[in-house]
Structure 1
């Protein structure tokens, strides 16, 4: 159950960072209203809090989150922006997730 909770926290952190960043992007680059940027900034700040919900230390959490960020960014772009990941995007994301799975979830003595 601890692994499931951890995965959900990484996914929530990803949605906060990517979603908040996306709102700031829309405000700054696509002339959306100012409140998009404000809400995006608040969501981005919440991302920083969500990451602290992981039981491991800062370095391991943020290293692992990087792999989740890669995969979630591609999924967000595909679903929200219509970007179609190619096989190299998918292979790279899978490699990143395998790597962070080893970093974060490997048994340690």
Structure 2
């Protein structure tokens, strides 16, 4: 159950980060209204807060989160940008998720 909660928290964190970066992109590159910067800032604040909810050392969490971020970004590419990922993209996702799982779920002694 801890593994499922960890991955779900990482996915929510990645969505918050991507939305927080995508909305300013729309404003800067696609002539979207400037008010999109308000939900972008809120989304980035949520991203930072979500990263603090993990009980492990921050460096380990940030490293493992990167694997989930890459995976969610590829899904964003597909569903939001309407660009179908290549088999190489999916291979990269698999490798990133394996790395995340090793970093987060490998047996270890917790240091004091």
TM-score, normalising length from structure 1?
Answer: 0.95
Distance (whole Å) between structure 1 residues aligned to residue 22 and residue 40 of structure 2: 7
Q: Quote the offset at 1:27 in angstroms.
A: 1.1
Distance (whole Å) between structure 1 residues aligned to residue 37 and residue 30 of structure 2: 11
Give every structure 1 segment of 4 or more consecutive aligned residues whose post-TM-superposition deviation is greater than 3 Å. Answer: none
Q: State the secondary structure of the residue aligned to 1:66.
A: helix
Q: State the secondary structure of the residue aligned to 1:81.
A: coil
Partner of 1:94: 94
Give the number of the structure whose residues are more often helix, by fraction. 1
Partner of 1:70: 70
Unaligned 5+ runs, structure 1: none
Partner of 2:81: 81
Unaligned 5+ runs, structure 2: none
TM-score, normalising length from structure 2?
Answer: 0.93
Q: Quote the offset at 1:36 in angstroms.
A: 0.9
> Does the CA contact (< 8 Å) of 1:24 and 1:41 recur in 2?
no
Structure 1 residues 1-109: aligned runs within 5 Å: 1-109=1-109
* Aligned pairs, number: 109
Distance (whole Å) between structure 2 residues aligned to residue 24 and residue 107 of structure 1: 40
